[in-house]
Chain A
Amino acid sequence: MGYSLLKTTKIMTFYEKLKTKHILRIGVGIAMLLITSAQLLFADSVKSQTVEEVEISIELKHASLVEAFSKIEAQSPFHFMYRDDEVKNIRNLNVPAGRQSVAVCLKRLLANTSLVYRQIDNHILVTSRSENRNPVVAATSSGASAVIYDRGIKGQVTNARGEPLSGVSITLKGSSMGTSTDAAGRFSINIPEEGILVFSFVGFKTRELPVKGRNSFDIQLEDQTQALNEAVVTALGIKKEKKALTYAVTELNGSEFTQARENNLGNALSGKIAGVNASGTATGPGGSSRVIIRGNGSLSGDNQPLYIVNGVPINNAVQGTAPGTYGGIDRGDGLISINPDDIETISVLKGGTAAALYGSRAANGVILITTKSGRVQKGIGVEYTSTYTQENPLDIPDWQYEYGSGSRGIKPTSKSEAIANGRISWGAKLDGSPVVQPDGVARPYSAQKHNVRNFYNNGTTFSNTLALSGGNEGLNFRFSVSDMDNKGIVPNSSIDRKTFNLSVSANLAKKLIFEGRAQYNIELDKNRTYIADFSKNPNASVGLIATNIDIRTLAPGYDAQGFETPWSDYVFVVNPYFAASKVKNGDERRRFIGSFSTRYNFTDYLYARARVGIDYFNINAYDIEPTGLLYNPSGSMTTSQSTTYETNAEALLGFDKKFGHFTVNAIAGGNKMHNKLSGIDISSGLFNVPFAYFITNGKSPVFTESYRESAINSLFASADIAYNSFLFLNLTGRKDWFSTLSTASNSLFYPSVGLSFVFSDIWKSRPAWLNYGKIRSSWAQVGGGAPDPYGLSLAYVAPSSSHLGQPLMNISGNTIPNSKLEPYTSTTTELGIELRGLNSRVGADVTVYDRTTTNDIVSASVPLSSSYTSVLLNVGKIRNRGIELLLTGSPVRSPKGFNWDVSFNMAYNQNTVLKIADGLTSLALPGAEARTENGFVYHYEKMPFGMISGYKAKKDDKGNTVYSKDNGLPIQSDFMALGRGVPPLTLGLSNTFGYRNFTLGFLVDAKFGSKMYTSTNAYGTYYGLDKRTVAGNVRENGVALKGVDEDGNAFSRTLDAQDYYQGIAFTLTDQFVSDAGFVKLRQLTLGYNLPRGVLSKTPFQSASLSLVARNLLLLYSQLKNVDPESNYSTSNGQGLENFGVPPTRSYGLNLMVKF
């Protein structure tokens, strides 16, 4: 190539110095975090010495120039670079002895030559005076340093609208040479005659262009979102061109999650992707989320997608006692471990074809999370992100404020009456007169409307991430450290999550690539709030306190001895201050997620890859019922420890080759999954010594051991065949063996096939406005085994304690085992079309699909009179049909720099339960029973998944309500479905406005078509809080009832309002089932990027500051008194709530800097 490599020993020194310098730069970075004012000082200290400053002692007689350079290098930090042919003939040089600066020495040496020198850092470049070229130092892929003489190239980079882009990074592929564009989008760079220039910029598709002797490049970069040939990560981490895909994949950039954040990544997906229904829970900041892709496909299985982090399936099970009828704590799911700052991309594989390669657990789709890795770059990059937000509780209940505490229209007149009526607002008209309250103090009998605001704190979340990255052709790495510190709105609750993330890849001898990624988390949660029941749950107490009592009068919640002070009729309804200050729980989760892979390229078209992934976590948790708790005055506690791990070992052979018009891309391999959980729970029994909280202080400690182990072995293969880049065929096949099924029927093979056709590429006479058009179709099967091990035969277990010296034994569990279970199958057919037009300023992507699950393994509820609660049956059939629509557009592209981008997504999923089991037309969802014991979730044949069910008032043939002669109350109808619990329609609208360095974005998120059973309103009615208990003066006039009695005779009676409403509150379910549609302003960000001009005076490469907000406004809601997203459970039983943690509005600041 005509370039000479320096073969001096200085190369090592150069690298060492490079290293030292960068370590100093890292030092600067870290210092920045601590003392920002010290930055410039540090930056100065790393400047190189100049040739004028460095003195050497040298004497040369008849030396060659090469010899002279060598001697100077020996005494100085410098090293020389030059072109051999220009230097080698210069000999016979003399330099008199003595101490002199390098500059003086060089002046002498080059005096009579045509050469000149220039210092670049520690390099001295020697070039010909006559040539108007700048030499550049480059580290080559071989690891050596080279001097390359070359030409200057100039150019300008613009976006698709022809507007200049500043800050675009331009690098020479395979080297660390690079520059970036100025404010006018212009750049100049010196590169070799040959090579490839890489133009990259965040938010734009990276372009690579061969130099091929060109001197100027005026190029355009396409927006990432508009890129047509963009590659996305698909199954097994294989990148594919988007146009080759035969199924729907949505890829989101990590930056979508870093500004306005959610603690749980699942919640952050809401409204962003058509066909993905993400919902959070009202269980506090560390709670779980439920993400459903294209509807629920299994009647009783886990319907959530498989989460894959860097190729490793991670465990996303909800920890703790998931809240059910009688309460519980949501200790969060697996997604809480993911730090948004580490995410490079999230790919959502929606359809069966997309997921077919992942096997059974991907039957509900796959969410692939790829974390950031190091890149070939000059030096070490430092990125720092800091976000601070405040969460304010929203005061949603709108109760009646006309009547106060009391019963039957009478105010309490004594402390015990006040306590007995602490949550009963059936008293007298609020008149401001002094009335005794539960603390024994008389206060004005007047409305207290801000108990929510008065009880809850404002929460705060402070997240900081520092990431270092770097790399060259041979090795690259990224390391990040992150801390997320959350103080919840429930007093004394907090979360601290630390994440360490390392990604390293080594490319050894070109053919062998090692890659390792490791994440370690430490999560500490304190005092997660109890949910759904009343015991230990402060939220229900805040929700039900009588209208005239200021919640703050219940503080501090305990007496001088530390015993809970009573405030209501029922000891299990905790004093909220006692719950927040004395009831304690906590958990500590340490988690390691790692993936290690080796790839060997046999040839340029054949490779082998072996990979091992591990998700290992350990949870230590404790739960203390403190001494003095009213319903358990001695107090007691439990602790639990569990270890869960899953390993996946995968090996595959890959083949990638072009044959004429055809390109074939094929893989074949196998995977071995092993999953194990072991744990122990210990309960203390009542404490012997009060106020001392440790297990051995309990008088009857009992332990239980939990253990489960399962495995899936798989073989798989796939082939992608492309014809001329416009016709693509995709075939996959996989066979799984499940350990949870009997060996007689434990395996299943399932295939998939897909075809896509980019018709715009061959449609010669296509209309001018159409830039791109593609149709795709696919058919896929995915199967699955039984979710839980040990479901085949009855097992007997022993409790840990005995009685009177006799050992005990009992039947394990409440599920009737079934030894004949077989795998189930989910079949998806999808058809889609993608269009882009008007210079790619508008785009549409429409998909229709049908997904049918057959042989579904159903955990069918059986009545307790069978002695069990459920049985596993292999008979379910459920169908999801739907349409997904994505519309994108760029309505405004102004030359002045004002841009407006809009994206709208919509999905409608029609779900039908086709069959439950022979002789079984309905199925109760386990645990899906509201605390009122009057609201349920059931599946019914020929109805959508998860119907909220219960009772109405019974009607006779003529439609008259039937009343009881005895008590005058309406008689319950038969048990029936009252409305779907899962919304079929989800909508999202996001807008981004950009003007110069400002960006404004917002996301509107809406869901419609489902209902919710609001226990809050049922209790609100029972206890006289709901507005219906005062409407039409019913408290004065009574409730006039007319209909028929049980015998069919005419019935008419006026019932006391309290009798009537307390009589129906827990019997007429339908009174508290309402539409749950809503529209929320989900997210708002206003960002400012520091301009280049300002940045050049700082050590930053880029810096941005954003105002961020989440869940800013509930724009529209069909529900009263409760937030439409206050489900307490992420289980299949959706549509139940009971006094959750109030929703919060969060807003704050986000800072991101790179240097």
Chain B
Amino acid sequence: MKYITLAIVLFSFTLLTSCDKGFKDMNINPNSYNTPVIGSLFSYNIIKTAGSDDDNTLYPNDKLAGAMMQYFASLNPYQWTGDKYLPKTGYSDGLFNAVFNVELKENEQILSLTRGIPDLINEYAIACIWHVYIFHRVTDMYGNVPYSQAGQGYINGVYKPKYDLQSDIYPAMLNLLDSAAGELDPSKTSFGAADYIYNGDPAAWKRFAYSLMLRLGMRLTKVDAASAQKWVQKAIAGGVMQSNADIAKLNHTDGSELNFYWDGEELRGGEGVPPSAKGLGYGKMGQTFVNYLKNTNDPRLPFYITLWPGNADPSQLPTSTLPGVQKGLPNGYDYSSIKTLIPGWTDDMLAEYSEINLNTVGSNSTPSIFQSYAEVELYLAEAALRGWGPGDPKTHYENAVTASMQVEALYPGGMSVPASAISAYLSANPYTGGTFDQQMQQIHTQLWVSLFMNNIEVYANWRRTGYPVLIPVNYPGNATGGTISRRLPYPQSEASLNTDNYKAAVQAQGPDLFTTRVWWDKN
């Protein structure tokens, strides 16, 4: 018995003899990869940039930019705050948080894994172009943001990135596009199928890089026309998109959060216009947009909007998308004040107001379009108008309208605009020329119609050009004194966690308010 016990005790001690044996292996997560697959990181990066949740979709694109651009309207003062310029930190923080925490994270990692490796030059250049795509949205929305030190928490141990001036960020982004476009080399390997956008095609990426350069260059017209001209001309010379086949987009399928079109998913959810709400959802189509579509007999109307029975039952779309029955909700009203506008208003009347068509432009399998060919043609129209680019504004304008109508073929729902309808529209709404301002109005009002659901871009373009002409609302308690916001405030977490850099950014830019203008939005 004594020996048995002794044996047990001794055995127990032997378990302790090697005090950290095996600890190194134990501390490696068995459910993780030890080496990254760059292509798979890029696939993920594209998906998350298209939409990671409501932070970079529903909030900035629909409830804020979408409502401020008066595509959407809502009676609910606590939701869709862009309708009434009411402050709501969760909404205004969204894009900032998503860009830096999600969109940038894998992108920075890809850049650091490919930088300086000649064999991976295409992967690096493509990641650079994507880097610019990610960044320009956040700086357009907030102004000065961390750029040179952003996303370096792991790579360089920068825990508190400094904010760069937008006046420095824009040249940096444009230069990066320029160098990346120049580095793309069709003779080298690329992402291949891991690149959802262009299947790794360097030539296609080059067109996208220059198209993006066109967009960014045009952004500078108010603040620095000479630079704008330089970059726009460089972009056109480099070669921009030629057709809808060149569109930068990510296709979606219904499924999990990695598959579906986030805007569509969110709009069919509780904060949008769920079919189950039977027309009483929050996010109605705005009167400004609906009336414009109706007044111009726009054949895109059924593609864009419907009454709720069409959303609940697609077989009813033919009747519920008829232009005559559409009604847009005026911006700036709540459930009580709407009665002062519409005498005899009753609850159920909300169901008579149009909703975004969830079967087409708002479907879960709608593609995320990062930049469309129609947009490129409209910027080319402006370039022509300014004398910076080839062709005449009218042709570019008509190309844009045609492309915008033909693009429906890329969407679910099986809608299309016949050629006859396109030409009917163009003859009913011809490009009339006129003064510079009149032409700008026509080009950029068309951009507003063509780029529906690229609302963040439309909002930036509106701030630059002032078109379309929108009548601001003045709801009690609004944050802007009854003007459409010029930017979004920074998240409070930046003020509390990155205090010194935040303060310096505000010092340089002006108070952290909805009404402060970003650098290129010169008054």
Interface residues of A (CB under 8 A from B): 406-408, 410, 412-417, 420-421, 508-509, 511-512, 563, 569-572, 598, 600, 602, 608-610, 628, 630-633, 649-651, 653, 670-672, 685, 699-700, 702, 705, 707-711, 713, 715, 735, 737-740, 743, 746-747, 789-790, 792, 794-799, 801-812, 814, 816-817, 860-869, 871, 919-920, 922, 924, 933-934, 936, 938, 949, 966-967, 974-975, 1046, 1056, 1058-1059, 1062-1063, 1066
Give A801 to B257 CA distance when docked, in angstroms.
9
Closest 10 CB pairs of A and B: A631-B270, A866-B153, A651-B12, A416-B347, A571-B270, A809-B40, A600-B5, A795-B32, A863-B498, A633-B276
B interface, size bucket:
35 or more
Partner of B32, one of A650, A700, A797: A797
Residue of A nearest to B500 (CB): A919
Find chain B residues with CB under 8 A from A406 CB.
Answer: 336
Q: Contact between B37 and A807 (Cβ–Cβ < 8 Å)?
A: yes
Contacts A700-B259, A862-B497, A924-B493; is A598 near B5 (CB within 8 Å)? Answer: yes
CB-based contact A710/B26 at 8 Å: yes
Q: A798 CA to B495 CA in the complex, in Å? A: 33
A413–B347 CA distance with the chains assembled, in angstroms: 10
Once the chains bind, are B153 and A414 in contact (CB under 8 Å)?
Answer: no
- Contact partners of A863 in chain B: CB under 8 A: 159-161, 493-494, 497-498
* Cβ contact of B496, chosen from A421, A805, A924, cutoff 8 A: A924
The answer to whether B29 touches A417 (Cβ under 8 A) is no
- The listed residue with most A CB atoms (<10 A of its CB), out of B48, B257, B275, is B257
A922 touches B15 (CB 8 A): no
Query: A1063, B254: Cβ atoms under 8 Å?
Result: no
Question: Is B280 close to A, CB under 8 A?
Answer: yes
From B15, B36, B348, A809 is in contact (CB under 8 Å) with B36
B79 on interface, CB distance cutoff 8 Å: yes
Enumerate B191-250 residues with CB–CB distance to A below 8 Å: 193-194, 196
Q: Is the CB of A867 within 8 A of B153?
A: yes
Q: In the docked arrangement, what's the CA distance between A657 and B499, Å?
A: 63
Q: Are A632 and B499 in contact (CB under 8 A)?
A: no
Asked whether, in the complex, the Cβ of B251 is within 8 Å of the Cβ of A804, the reply is yes
Most buried by A among B1, B101, B513: B101
What are 23 residue pairs bridging A and B, where the CB atoms are less than 8 Å apart in the complex?
A416-B350, A417-B335, A417-B336, A420-B336, A569-B79, A633-B270, A651-B16, A685-B256, A707-B30, A709-B26, A713-B20, A737-B20, A747-B20, A796-B36, A796-B37, A797-B33, A801-B255, A803-B47, A803-B196, A865-B146, A867-B153, A933-B89, A934-B89
Q: Does B476 contact A867, Cβ atoms closer than 8 Å?
A: no
Q: A651-B12, A866-B152 are in contact. Are A933 and B256 (CB under 8 A)?
A: no
Compute how far the CA of A674 lies from the CA of B318 in the bound complex, rounded to whole angstroms: 66
CB distance from B297 to the nearest CB of A (A): 33
* B75 interfacial contact with A, CB 8 Å: yes
In Å, the complex CA distance between A740 and B26 comes to 8
Contacts of A862 in B (CB 8 A): 153, 159-160, 497
The yes or no answer to B167 lying at the interface (CB within 8 A) is no
B492 at interface, CB cutoff 8 A? yes
**Contact (Cβ within 8 A) A865 B150:** yes
In the assembled complex, the CB of B250 is this many whole angstroms from the nearest CB of chain A, namely 9
Collect the chain B residues with CB atoms within 8 Å of residue A633's CB: 270, 274-276
Give the residue name and chain of the A residue nearest to B15 (CB). A672
CB of B359 within 8 Å of the partner chain: no
Partner of A808, one of B22, B100, B258: B258
B375 at the A interface (CB under 8 A):
no
Using CB atoms, name the residue of chain A closest to B16. Answer: A670
The one of A570, A738, A865, A967 in contact with B498, judged by C-beta atoms closer than 8 angstroms, is A865
Closest to B274 in A: A633
- Contact among A685, A789, A803 with B27 in the assembled complex (CB-CB below 8 Å): A789
- B437 close to chain A: CB less than 8 A: no
Q: Select the residue from B1, B154, B511 with max chain A CB neighbours within 10 A.
A: B154
A569-B154 in contact (CB<8A) = no
Q: A residues within 8 A CB of B47?
A: 803, 808
Could you tell me if B276 and A864 are in contact, using CB atoms closer than 8 angstroms? Answer: no
Given contacts A610-B12, A790-B27, contact A966 B154 (CB under 8 A): no
Q: Is B65 an interface residue (CB 8 A)?
A: no
Which residue of chain B has its CB nearest to the CB of A786? B27
Q: Which of A417, A868, A933, A1046 contacts B492, CB < 8 Å?
A: A933
B residues sitting closer than 8 Å to A (CB atoms) are 1-2, 5-6, 8-9, 11-13, 15-16, 19-20, 22-24, 26-33, 35-37, 39-41, 43-44, 47-48, 75-79, 89-90, 96-97, 100-101, 104-106, 108-109, 145-146, 150-154, 157-161, 193-194, 196, 251, 253-259, 269-271, 274-276, 280, 282, 334-336, 339, 345-348, 350, 476-481, 491-499, 511, 513, 515
Using Cβ atoms and an 8 Å threshold, which residues of chain B touch A570? 76, 78-79
CB of B337 to closest CB in A, whole Å:
9
Instruction: Pick the residue among A417, A801, A806 that contacts B256 (CB under 8 A).
Output: A801
Chain B residue contacts of A924, Cβ below 8 A: 493, 496-497
Residues of B within 8 A of A739 (CB): 20, 23, 26-27
Question: Hey, which chain B residues are within 8 Å of A805, CB to CB?
Answer: 193
Residues of B within 8 A of A512 (CB): 1, 5
Question: Which A residue's beta carbon lies closest to that of B96?
Answer: A864
Given A685-B256, A867-B101, A1062-B477, A651 contacting B13 (CB threshold 8 A): yes
Q: Which residues of A are found within 8 Å of B100, using beta-carbon distances?
A: 864-867
Give CA–CA (A711, B15) in the complex, Å. Answer: 13
Let me know if B36 and A610 touch, CB within 8 A.
no
Decide: A796 and B153 in contact? CB cutoff 8 A. Answer: no
* B477 to A, closest residue via Cβ: A1059
Known: A600-B6, A743-B23, A966-B515. A408 touches B336 (CB 8 A): yes
CB distance from B153 to the nearest CB of A (A): 3
Given the complex, which residues of B lie within 8 Å of A936, measured CB to CB?
A: 496
Which residues of A are found within 8 Å of B151, using beta-carbon distances?
Answer: 865-867
| CB-defined contacts of B345 to chain A, threshold 8 Å | 414
Closest-CB distance, A404 to chain B (whole angstroms): 14
Asked, given contacts A715-B16, A806-B43, A967-B479, whether A630 binds B159 with beta carbons under 8 Å apart, the answer is no
By beta carbon, the residue of chain A nearest B347 is A416
Contact of A746 among B23, B36, B269, B498 (CB under 8 A): B23
Contact B270 A810 (CB under 8 A): no
**Which residues of A lie under 8 Å from residue B37 when comparing CB positions?**
796, 807, 809
Known contacts A807-B37, A864-B101, A420 near B8 by CB under 8 Å = no
Which chain B residues border A860 with CB–CB below 8 Å? 159
Q: For A867, give its contact among B150, B160, B511 (CB under 8 Å).
A: B150
Closest to B254 in A: A699
Contacts of A1063 in B (CB 8 A): 477
